[in-house]
Amino acid sequence: MRWVLIGASTIAAQYMIPALRAHGGEIITVVSSSSERGADFAVKHGIPRPGTDVQEAVSDADVDAVYISTTNEKHLPQALAAIAAGKHVLCEKPLAMSVADAASMVRAAEQKGVVFATNHHLRCSGSHRAVRQLVRDGRIGRVLSLRLHHAVHLPANLQGWRINSPAEGGGVIPDITVHDADVARFLLDEDPKSVVAQMTSSGLGQGVEDSAMSVWTMPSGTMVMSHESFTHPFAGSGLEVHGTEGSIFARNVMTQNPIGEIELVTAAGRERVGYEPYDLYGEAVRCFHEAAAGRGEPAATGWDGVKSLAVALAVREAAATGARVDVHYGDVK
Ligand code: NDP
């Protein structure tokens, strides 16, 4: 599969270029808004053709697919251009700045008959899949609650638009709460109905929130609490699922790498749970390649990305207003 990268980004450099290549992807072009940055990026990563023109890059007949990892406000026009050119699209989260915009991208892809995926890497984690399997197998009985701990310290090299630019989609809610929304949906197989929330700026955010806590109501009655932050150097990440017959503790698993430990606690005692430690982004690429070949769906579909955004934006509205907010999914599938 031959790829265009739109965005000379950190995530492309650190994770996606190796993941694409590990699964047989060939990267033809990287598009940057700066010819100098694009050229440097291309040399550093061995990409033959740097460019600055999205339309030209996506119109290339040699190209099959486009990976979009620019700042969030750019995803919509870039995805629509790629889709109109008939290319499959793997788009970074959050898909867009609004649910309506995100849904319009997914509908455009459906109409054109191309694959559209959201890069929610955590559902590609062996640890998250193992937790989901324990829940599905009934190992903890009826699920009562899910706690998501995703308060981390934003590395210095990422302390740009994320902490000071609402216009580019900054803030911890579009950045991390979207991931947590997808994790909850993935583990529990249901969509949050309404949310209450608080947010604050605790040292990094300038004009955007850098921390959020929220509680989500699920249709089944399961309670979900979720904590995201950019300012917590030593909190560690994790998730816990508690049920009538047991509890699952997954520590350090809200991460980009295949690390962390899972423990199942029941009346029978404590049990360490193993999982396949495969590369999260590589697994997303593998599923995407399969979907583009007509075999199944991507790991996270476009509609998954629309829904995670809907939850995150409801969290922000609830935190801003102090009200309980219903999650509006629009006419999402
Ligand atoms: P970066 O800040 O690294 O890159 C975003 C854009 O900023 C780039 O496209 C680039 O523009 C520009 N840029 C990069 N470096 C510089 C620089 N030195 N000076 C000026 N501008 C620069 O963002 P991330 O890689 O962290 O995030 C990109 C997208 O990926 C976001 O949508 C984010 O939410 C998502 N993401 C997803 C992750 C996941 O696990 N799924 C993890 C991390 C990010 P240009 O392309 O025009 O050169």
pLDDT greater than 90 at residue 41: yes
pLDDT at 88: 98
- CB-count exposure of residue 43 (10 Å: 0-12, 13-18, 19+): exposed
- Residue 162 CA to ligand 1 center (angstroms) comes to 9
Cα separation, 270 vs 290, whole angstroms: 38
pLDDT greater than 80 at residue 327: yes
Distance in Å from the first CA to the final CA of the chain: 28
pLDDT greater than 80 at residue 213: yes
pLDDT in tens, 103-146: 999 999 999 999 999 999 999 999 999 999 999 999 999 999 99
pLDDT greater than 90 at residue 333: no
pLDDT greater than 80 at residue 232: yes
- Residue 9 CA to ligand 1 center (angstroms) comes to 4
**Among the atoms of ligand 1, which is closest to the Cα of residue 161?**
2
Pocket test for ligand 1, best of 4, 5, 9, 280 (most atoms within 8 A of CB): 9
Cα separation, 290 vs 245, whole angstroms: 37
pLDDT greater than 90 at residue 44: yes
- CB-count exposure of residue 198 (10 Å: 0-12, 13-18, 19+): middle
**Among the atoms of ligand 1, which is closest to the Cα of residue 256?**
40
- Residue 278 CA to ligand 1 center (angstroms) comes to 24
- Residue of 56, 91, 39, 58 lying closest to 305 (CA atoms): 91
CB atoms within 10 A of CB 30: 29
CB atoms within 10 A of CB 113: 9
pLDDT at 30: 98
Going by alpha carbons, the residue nearest to atom 16 of ligand 1 is 9
pLDDT greater than 90 at residue 26: yes
pLDDT at 78: 98
Residue 332: pLDDT band by 50, 70, 90 thresholds? Answer: confident
- Residue 92 CA to ligand 1 center (angstroms) comes to 10
Residue 215: pLDDT band by 50, 70, 90 thresholds? Answer: very high
List, in order, residues 6 or more apart from 163 with CB less than 8 Å away.
154, 170, 204, 205, 206, 208, 210, 230
Pocket test for ligand 1, best of 69, 125, 304 (most atoms within 8 A of CB): 69
Percent helix, percent strand, percent coil in the chain, to nearest 5: 40, 25, 35
Q: Does the N-terminal peptide bond of residue 77 adopt cis geometry, omega within 30 degrees of 0?
A: no
Cα separation, 110 vs 104, whole angstroms: 10
Going by alpha carbons, the residue nearest to atom 2 of ligand 1 is 9
pLDDT in tens, 262-303: 999 999 999 999 999 999 999 999 999 999 999 999 999 999
Q: What percent of the chain has pLDDT over 70?
A: 100
**Among the atoms of ligand 1, which is closest to the Cα of residue 119?**
41
Q: How many Å separate Cα 6 from the centre of its chain?
A: 17
**Among the atoms of ligand 1, which is closest to the Cα of residue 174?**
34
pLDDT at 330: 81
**Among the atoms of ligand 1, which is closest to the Cα of residue 72?**
32
pLDDT at 155: 97
Find the helix packing angle between 126-136 and 178-188, rounded to 10°. 40
Going by alpha carbons, the residue nearest to atom 43 of ligand 1 is 11
Q: What is the DSSP string of 26-74?
A: EEEEEE-SSHHHHHHHHHHHT-SEEES-HHHHHH-TT--EEEE-S-GGG
Average pLDDT over residues 1-5: 98
Average pLDDT over residues 16-31: 98
**Among the atoms of ligand 1, which is closest to the Cα of residue 38?**
48
pLDDT at 331: 77
Residues within a 6 A CB radius of ligand 1 = 7-11, 32-34, 37, 69-72, 92-93, 119, 121, 158, 160, 175, 256
Cα separation, 306 vs 303, whole angstroms: 5
Q: What residues form DSSP beta bridges with 263?
A: 249, 272
pLDDT in tens, 171-199: 999 999 999 999 999 999 999 999 999 99
Pocket test for ligand 1, best of 5, 6, 11 (most atoms within 8 A of CB): 11
Q: What is the DSSP string of 177-209?
A: IHHHHHHHHHHHSS---EEEEEEE--SS-SSS-
- Residue 237 CA to ligand 1 center (angstroms) comes to 23
Residue 60: pLDDT band by 50, 70, 90 thresholds? Answer: very high
- Residue 171 CA to ligand 1 center (angstroms) comes to 14
- Residue 269 CA to ligand 1 center (angstroms) comes to 45
- Please provide the average confidence, as pLDDT, over all residues in the chain: 97
CB atoms within 10 A of CB 138: 12
Average pLDDT over residues 90-98: 98
Cα separation, 37 vs 270, whole angstroms: 52
Going by alpha carbons, the residue nearest to atom 28 of ligand 1 is 69
- Kind and range of the H or E run holding 175: none
